Amino acid sequence: KAGVTQTPRYLIKTRGQQVTLSCSPISGHRSVSWYQQTPGQGLQFLFEYFSETQRNKGNFPGRFSGRQFSNSRSEMNVSTLELGDSALYLCASSYQRQGGNEQFFGPGTRLTVL
């Protein structure tokens, strides 16, 4: 079974621009979560989508948004980029069967904001 895939793997943007990142979950997984990883703040939860609905949200500003499609693929968008948005953005998928919430991560998208 193929793992979680994320595109693109690397992105360079300038301040003020917006960016869209894509995530394809493991086949059959219906939950997709997004995390931001930085050296200073570590791994932080952004939001989770399940069946095209945002089910959980972390403490990030409204510039960070996401969506999930009917095939469970997900995108996250960051508008009005700031230098501090430079990070590794990780997507994780989960089957969400009863009693199980193992999350499997993709390789991430490395975003650099100049």
Partner 1 sequence: QQQVKQSPQSLIVQKGGISIINCAYENTAFDYFPWYQQFPGKGPALLIAIRPDVSEKKEGRFTISFNKSAKQFSLHIMDSQPGDSATYFCAASTASKLTFGTGTRLQVTL
Whichever of 66 and 108 has its CB closer to partner 1, that residue is 108
Min dist CB 32 to partner 1, Å, is 10
For residue 33, the surrounding DSSP H or E stretch is strand 31-38
The site for partner 1 (CB under 8 A) is made up of 4, 31, 33, 35, 42-45, 48, 50, 55-56, 58, 90, 92, 94, 96, 101-108
Which position has the token pair 């570590």? 42
Q: Are strands 87-94 and 74-78 parallel, antiparallel or unpaired?
A: unpaired
What one-letter code names the amino acid at 43?
L
Whichever of 30 and 67 has its CB closer to partner 1, that residue is 30
